[in-house]
Amino acid sequence: MRTVVTGGAGFLGSHLVAKLEADGHEVFVPRRKDYDLTVADDVERLFADARPEIVYHLAAEVGGIGANRANPGRYWYANLTMGVNVLEQARITGLHKLVLAGTICAYPKFAPVPFREEDLWNGYPEETNAPYGVAKKALLVGAQGYREQYGLNSIFLLPVNLYGPRDNFDLESSHVIPALIRKMDDARADGMEQVVLWGDGSPTREFLYVDDCAEGLKLAGERYNGADPVNLGTGHEIVIRDLAALIGELCGYEGEIIWDASKPNGQPRRQLDVTRAADLFGFRAQVGLRDGLEQTIAWYRASGIHAAR
């Protein structure tokens, strides 16, 4: 099929593109310099140029807690506007199928654990990433509305925190795993005796290896055509303190870990109910956390990011 993957040059998108191309799809990856998805005319031109049958909308402006605190307005505007423009062009052109990637940040701050899709609207998201989460959740409403009124086959998936090779290791905007790997491995290489981490280490998070997530997206694109949102994850959580200790071990870092409790923790717990994805399109994560971290650390060391500082 003729396929567009917005964000296809990015972290998750590049892994999805490789899977789709291996399956014989003709994949078009729009670049931001050519198509600004926050501009409606650019999205119209993208659909005219690529003539897609299916679109995976993964493009997003996103980062860790610090980046979300620094860019609440931008993250709300950019993510909402990109999604709205893609939805509208999908309607206008009669697109065969639209796959929208949401975010775990859309869940209420104190959602019951494990997070079930039915609880998505039962509270407000955690404050530091609420603008991003609310913008993405609004696209679920749009997708369901367009399905009901126009018959657009648009599905909405909720990936949990991702990690893996080709992740963003910039400490100003990265998520927790790449940030921990960079801090720990650089500290080992530089002979540092202490590493300072944000928060008190008490929250829990669930992590999905990026190649597993790409497989989940591909399976949903092939097999799922429903209106209900679907979680993508492993169903297993880990305390951030334990995660930091594990990454330190795998990096060979033997120094002290200092927790800066003046910095925010973010959402207290994150763990998904992943039953719906297994039942509806047969997705189950395959890569365990330890194996995935080892592969990610190996990629980081081979990347030359540390040497290029």
> Would you name the residues annotated as active-site residues?
132
Residue type for 94, please? Answer: G
The owner of tokens 């299916």 is 54
What CA–CA distances, in Å, run from 6 to 50, 112, 228, 242, 300?
Answer: 12, 32, 22, 35, 25
Distance spanning both ends of the chain, measured CA to CA: 42
Strand partners, 115: 272
Helix (H) or strand (E) holding 100: strand 97-101
Helix (H) or strand (E) holding 66: helix 65-70
**How buried is residue 160: exposed, middle or buried, by Cβ count under 10 Å (0-12/13-18/19+)?**
buried
Q: How far apart are CA 127 and CA 267, in angstroms?
A: 8
Helix (H) or strand (E) holding 262: none
* Nearest partner of 241 among 254, 258, 229, 221, judged by Cα: 258
* Nearest partner of 49 among 89, 107, 16, judged by Cα: 89
Helix (H, G, I), strand (E, B) or coil at 116: coil
* Nearest partner of 90 among 51, 49, 59, 58, judged by Cα: 51
